[in-house]
Chains A and B, each alone.
Chain A
Amino acid sequence: MNGPIAVSVVVASHARHLRLRWLLNALEEQTLDEPWEVVVVHDYDVPTAERVLDRHPLARAGRLRHQAIAPGTGSPARQRNIGWRAASGDLIAFTDDDCRPEPTWLQRLLAGARGAPGSVVQGAARPDPLEASILAAPHVRTLTIEPVNRFAQAANILYPRALLERLGGFDERAVAGEDVDLALRAQAGGASIAAAADAVVYHAVESHTLPGIVRQNLKWRYLAYLVKRHPEMRRELPLGVFWDREHVYTTLALVGVAGALARPRLLVLAVPYAGRVLQRRGGGRRVPALALAELPGQLVRQGAEVAGMVAGSVRHRTVLL
């Protein structure tokens, strides 16, 4: 298809080459009938890149380009910056390598951009229904986005290239929350965020071991950097210092459990947390027993997350739990 590129899809990929391949397969089925391209920035070795990318039908069709960076030197922010700067389109759609866009995703995102020129356009993300059985696992990682939300995740968002240039792209000092930071700077500069709720990507549902999920969630300690940079965010945070409600309940529970050694009555502080965990599996005959069995693991996971936030607060000299 000839003519200028209507939209460039930029993907940062690391340690997920199979998921990346599946994303490319889903992009191959896009219904958009205007020229578009994909730019992947990754840190895979040459044989992997050759297998996953060079030999993909999108590459053979001239629609896919990729750029390799040295292993271990990447971050989502850096890779996305390399990607959008290498892209040809005036509109840049970001998605993640663990997402599966619906066939109409790009078409609808583009329609959203044309309906709100100059705006950021946020699409929706849902846990992949093909992987819904995995939600039965105790420790699961997935993503839900109902646009417009305050996080403006790069799993499904479109920026005008001119806006990215004006903002200087993603902040590469941000290890986590770089997408939130970009959206906040865009809004501070007068840009609005439009919703394209019908532009849907499905996010992978992955189960993890307890140590695995603890390790993975430690990255959230870097959110303190984000809040320090954007103190106005505190207006939307629970009590101004907690990242989300779960952390409020977890912190209370940890204080209650620790304090109960000296004053048993403090254990009452853990009741709201226990109530939430016991309800997380919904209704059903065996559900309370299951939720009860999962309670210690959930407390360890969320406790580690809060501990990580404490470490981040110390490092960035601002309180965020």
Chain B
Amino acid sequence: MTSLAVALVHHGDDTCVDELADALRELGHRVAVVRRRALPEMLLRGRGFTGPLTHVPAATGALLRGRFDVAHAFSPPDALAARAWRRLTGRPVVVTTLEVLDRAHLADRRLRLALLRASVEDADAVLAAGDEARDALWRWMTVEAAVVDPRDGAAHARLYLDLLR
């Protein structure tokens, strides 16, 4: 199998991202977890903005420095960094929705809907972490996502290779 350079972009602490990184490494791929921390965002939050946002430039920079084949993001702000990277490199972006979307949080803050929408409508592939997340994506965003266990390295590697063909 071709060895890939994969960036998993995630600002949070979900362990499934690290588990996916381990699974992909076991398959012989080069994997980096791009985990940039946001600066304090009280002012942005006070003005109604969603977050975190301040980690996005640093995450984009890390992606550009890393010579990756694929960027895989796990939240809408992370997908913003990945899409900025794609604009400059032309390489594919995968988005996994870990959260189960609900009406209360679709447009609850400034930029939330714009980022959410761009993350699922502008990705090369959209994955859901489970059936519930997939059904909610369809109900609220009318986006069809494949359910792939976020820890399944082989399934992800196949997807990345398909996107690079």
**Which of A26, A133, A137 has the largest count of B CB atoms less than 10 A from its CB?**
A133
Chain A contact residues: helix, strand, loop or mixed: helix
On whether A136 and B48 interact (CB within 8 A), knowing A22-B103, A22-B106, A131-B108, the answer reads: yes
**Structural contact, B142 and A51, CB atoms closer than 8 A:** yes
Check if A133 sits within 8 Å of B103, measured CB to CB.
no
A234 within 8 A of B: no
Q: Hey, which chain A residues are within 8 Å of B48, CB to CB? A: 133-137, 207
Q: Do A207 and B103 have beta carbons less than 8 Å apart?
A: no
Tell me, yes or no, whether A141 is within 8 Å of chain B by CB. Answer: no
| 8 Å CB interface, B29-74 against A | 46-48
Residues of chain B within 8 A (CB-CB) of A136 are 46-48, 110
| A65 interface hit (Cβ, 8 Å) | no
User: B46 and A25: CB pair below 8 A?
Assistant: no
Contacts of A204 in B (CB 8 A): 107
Q: Which residues of A contact B108 (CB under 8 A)?
A: 130-131, 133-134
Q: How far is the CB of A169 from chain B (nearest CB, A)?
A: 31
**Could you tell me if A18 and B142 are in contact, using CB atoms closer than 8 angstroms?**
yes
Q: Is the CB of B107 within 8 A of A21?
A: no
Assess A22 versus B109: contact at CB under 8 Å? Given A135-B48, A136-B47, A207-B48. no
Contact between B107 and A131, CB atoms less than 8 A apart? yes
Contact A22 B140 (CB under 8 A): yes
Say how far A49's CB is from chain B's closest CB, in angstroms. Answer: 11
Q: How far is the CB of B50 from chain A (nearest CB, A)?
A: 9
B51 to chain A, nearest CB (A): 11
Residues 59 to 91 of chain A near chain B (Cβ within 8 Å): none
The 8 Å CB contact of A130, one of B46, B104, B110, B140, is B104
B139 at the interface (CB under 8 A from A): yes
**What is the CA–CA distance of A209 and B111 in the complex, to the nearest angstrom?**
12
What residue in chain A is nearest B104 (Cβ atoms)? A130
Q: In the complex the two chains form, what is the Cα distance from A133 to B108 in whole Å?
A: 6
A130 touches B139 (CB 8 A): no
- Tell whether B117 is near chain A: CB-to-CB under 8 Å: yes
Task: List B residues at the A interface (Cβ < 8 Å).
Answer: 46-48, 103-104, 106-110, 113, 117, 139-142
Known contacts A25-B103, A51-B142, A133-B108; 17 additional CB pairs below 8 A are: A17-B142, A18-B113, A18-B141, A18-B142, A22-B106, A25-B139, A25-B140, A130-B108, A131-B107, A131-B108, A133-B48, A133-B110, A134-B109, A134-B110, A135-B48, A137-B48, A205-B107
